[in-house]
Amino acid sequence: MAVSLAIAVILLFHLDFERLLEHFAIISRPVLGVIILSLIPALLVRGYRWKLLFDNRTNSIRLTDSMALLLVGAALNLVLPASTGDIAKSYFGYRWSGVKERMLSVSLIDKVIALGAISVLGVPCALYRGELLYAGLSILVLLPAFVLLGLPVLIKHVPFCRKLFNGATKVVRKKLDFLKVVEQVNPSKKKVAEALLLSVTGWLITYLQMYLCFRAVDVKIPLVYVFSVAPLLTLVRLFPFTLSGIGTDEAAMWYFFSHAGAGLEGILAGAFAYRFVILILPGMVGLLVLARTKRLGSSKKGLSSSGPLPFYDK
């Protein structure tokens, strides 16, 4: 929180409030409407990706329930650092479904595949623009995916790794079986490929929304440039010492988009519009889901639902 405040103060020190208000005064309502409507496909793509990764021969989830969990994650991201709400939502999924280790495992897989996919979008665009440094740094977002997807192989062939995860399970008094969490990281190659394609589609929509947010406040930044810095902007959101990326997101946009000729006031106007429409609105809906959902007693077939998440066994 202190880091967020410090960065905000630095930005405010350089800010011309009159020019900032001028950008808000000319905001394009039709473009803003398009951005809001585009939330529907953007969220549907991510909700279906989570469902795709979760479903197996034993467990399944309806798309509406996957969407509810997605919105819960968006709500948690409003108060948690480094977008960890996307993972913390597994706790509520467990409370409502009774599925514990697989819930956490799929949330982790979903997160790292999404992170890896942004490089598929950003690297070609950075290379097209001749931004070799941006392209090289963008590859870093692939590392979490390689690490997580490689863990099942390690625990299978390296006894020390099994002992490590078994030890972690004992530390939490078997409230969570870490070894089982890792063993559940076993999506097929087909599922990984499909999830990757869905993730790229989702990022295309998300960063098109960012581009439109800047156009709505009359700030012209090339779309290909937005895509080329997308992986780096996503990495900044993983900075763990700020609240919901407040401050660091805006500072990163100022750094990158000022190189494209945009001024601070226009950049902040677009950044505020983006934060409200893309991050806060879904989070507010997620808060309603959290408030109205009750705990489910079981995840078995034939469950009588007391909330919107009736997970079931096939």
5 in a structural domain: no
Continuous H helices in 78-100: 85-97
Name the amino acid, one letter, at 312.
Y
For 222-246, how does the pLDDT look when each residue is reduced to its tens digit (9 = 90+)?
999 999 999 999 988 887 667 667 7
45 in a structural domain: yes
Q: Compute the distance between CA of residue 238 and CA of residue 240 in angstroms, rounded to an integer.
A: 6
Q: Compute the distance between CA of residue 149 and CA of residue 187 in angstroms, rounded to an integer.
A: 9
49 in a structural domain: yes
The pLDDT assigned to 116 comes to 92
DSSP SS3 for 219: coil
For 138-159, how does the pLDDT look when each residue is reduced to its tens digit (9 = 90+)?
988 888 888 888 888 888 888 9
160 in a structural domain: yes
Q: Which of 80-84, 121-125, 198-202, 292-296 has the lowest mean pLDDT?
A: 292-296
Number of domains, the chain: 1
For 23-67, how does the pLDDT look when each residue is reduced to its tens digit (9 = 90+)?
999 999 999 999 999 999 999 999 999 999 999 988 889 999 999
Q: Which of 172, 260, 248 is nearest to 215 (CA)?
A: 260
Q: Compute the distance between CA of residue 2 and CA of residue 243 in angstroms, rounded to an integer.
A: 9
313 in a structural domain: no
Q: Compute the distance between CA of residue 64 and CA of residue 158 in angstroms, rounded to an integer.
A: 40
DSSP SS3 for 60: strand
For 164-215, how does the pLDDT look when each residue is reduced to its tens digit (9 = 90+)?
999 999 999 888 999 899 988 888 999 999 999 999 999 999 999 999 999 9
End-to-end CA distance of the chain: 44
- Is pLDDT above 80 for 288? yes
**Residue numbers of the domain that contains 210:** 10-307
268 in a structural domain: yes
Name the amino acid, one letter, at 23.
H
Q: Which of 123, 116, 103, 172 is nearest to 147 (CA)?
A: 116
184 in a structural domain: yes
56 in a structural domain: yes
Name the amino acid, one letter, at 49.
R
Q: Which of 235, 230, 252, 244 is nearest to 283 (CA)?
A: 244
